[in-house]
């Protein structure tokens, strides 16, 4: 009996020791895993999410195979799924592009464009696609499309502002082919059939006005814009200008570095040009690297379609007190996107940064207020071109420069 009792006590002691050892090992292992690899939980969650998505898509595919009476194109299904997945982020500027769309974007950015020749922008208030303006000499201009027209349909298919990328890709196409564009203009629907052509894109329009005032209009900030700006300015300088108007009206933006390079030509060396923050609120400050080549009085013209890189340039010049801003409040696109080309030729555009003016003024969904606010009449806003006398904003800019 005593022997049995002793064995029982021994077993209990050994059991307690084993439990303590196991508990210690499990605790030590769990602590090590947590400290050395905190990302494992996130990775597991991502893996589970992707597994669930894959399972759901496979179910959809099975149902389509069993019931859909038409032909199934796997590549189009995959592209559509990816587009929807990225669009569901809810950011109007984050998007997925197919290889064909990416090729078109890169060609346009480099100045080679085949289509009808229009600048477009999302009308956030009405979730519509608004024509900022037709390109000079483009098929769109010759057909009669105007600034302010709202694109409602392309080849009979309706599009909203959130579908501008899709509409844009449908508008583009091979030279010589036709596209039907339906627009809403002053509550009236109009339809245009336009032949696509190769459009030579020029970023800059320059001329000398009276009283030795130079005028440079920047239509966008695509590749080569800053070099073209510098060339045009130097040509005007040889003509004897001593004051300058930079027109950013209807300029929807483009490559940030192009706008920064132009700001660098006007601001003092070392001046802050741009402040950006990323997802982790890390701040990066961009400063002017060179001594200014433009040392004369400058007025910048803006309107509600001046967006993104236009706002970066206007904000840099305004805060550094090297230019007077005249016109109306800008669009308010204070975020920057990175465009990445993927290995299969497709692309992913992601909003990665928010930007602020040198004085740390917020731009996104706010816009930049001009120093001198001059609004245009509704009639003038819908005109493709204004004469110098009709253009009240331009006339105010000239008046301001005459006083300097």
Query: Hey, which residues are catalytic here?
Result: 308, 319, 333
Q: How far apart are CA 72 and CA 60, in angstroms?
A: 12
For residues 327 and 393, is the Cβ–Cβ distance under 8 A? Answer: yes
Q: How far apart are CA 330 and CA 308, in angstroms?
A: 9
Q: How far apart are CA 200 and CA 358, in angstroms?
A: 35
CB atoms within 10 A of CB 241: 21
Residue/partner pairs of 344-347 with CB below 8 Å, 24 or more apart: 344/99, 345/99, 345/102, 345/103, 346/79, 346/96, 346/97, 346/98, 346/99, 346/101, 346/102, 347/96, 347/97, 347/101, 347/102, 347/105
CB atoms within 10 A of CB 61: 13
For residues 327 and 246, is the Cβ–Cβ distance under 8 A? Answer: no
């Amino acid at each position: 009996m005593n022997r049995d009792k002793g064995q029982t006590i021994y077993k209990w002691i050994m059991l307690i020791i084993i439990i303590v050892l196991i508990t210690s090992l499990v605790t030590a292992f769990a602590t090590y895993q947590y400290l050395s690899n905190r990302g494992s939980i996130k990775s597991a969650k991502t893996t589970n999410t992707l597994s669930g998505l894959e399972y759901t898509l496979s179910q959809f595919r099975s149902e389509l195979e069993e019931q859909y009476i038409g032909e199934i194109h796997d590549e189009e299904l995959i592209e559509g799924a990816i587009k929807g997945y990225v669009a569901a982020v809810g950011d109007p500027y984050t998007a997925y592009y197919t290889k064909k769309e990416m090729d078109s974007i890169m060609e346009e950015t480099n100045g080679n464009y085949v289509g009808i020749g229009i600048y477009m922008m999302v009308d956030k208030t009405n979730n519509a696609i608004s024509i900022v303006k037709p390109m000079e000499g483009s098929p769109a201009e010759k057909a009669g499309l105007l600034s302010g027209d709202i694109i409602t349909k392309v080849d009979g298919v309706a599009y909203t502002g959130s579908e501008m990328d899709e509409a844009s890709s449908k508008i583009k196409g091979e030279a010589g082919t036709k596209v039907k564009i339906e627009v809403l203009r002053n509550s009236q629907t109009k339809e245009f059939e336009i032949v696509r052509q190769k459009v030579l894109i020029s970023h800059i329009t320059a001329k000398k006005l009276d009283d030795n005032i130079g005028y440079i209009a920047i239509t966008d900030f695509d590749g080569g814009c800053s070099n073209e700006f510098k060339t045009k300015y130097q040509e005007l300088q040889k003509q004897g200008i001593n004051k300058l108007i930079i027109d950013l009206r209807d300029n929807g933006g483009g490559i940030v570095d192009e706008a920064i390079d132009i700001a660098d030509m006007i601001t003092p060396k070392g001046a802050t040009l741009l402040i950006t923050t990323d997802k982790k609120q890390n701040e990066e400050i961009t400063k002017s690297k060179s001594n200014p080549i433009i040392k004369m009085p400058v007025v910048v013209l803006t309107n509600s379609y001046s967006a993104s890189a236009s706002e970066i340039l206007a904000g840099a010049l305004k805060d550094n007190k090297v230019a007077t801003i005249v016109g109306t409040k800008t669009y308010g696109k204070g975020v920057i996107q990175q465009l990445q080309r993927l290995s299969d030729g497709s692309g992913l555009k992601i909003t990665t940064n928010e930007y602020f003016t040198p004085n740390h003024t917020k731009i996104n969904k706010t816009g930049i207020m001009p120093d001198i606010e001059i609004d245009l009449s509704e009639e003038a806003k819908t005109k493709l071109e204004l004469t110098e006398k009709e253009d009240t904003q331009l006339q105010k800019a000239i008046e301001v420069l005459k006083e300097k």
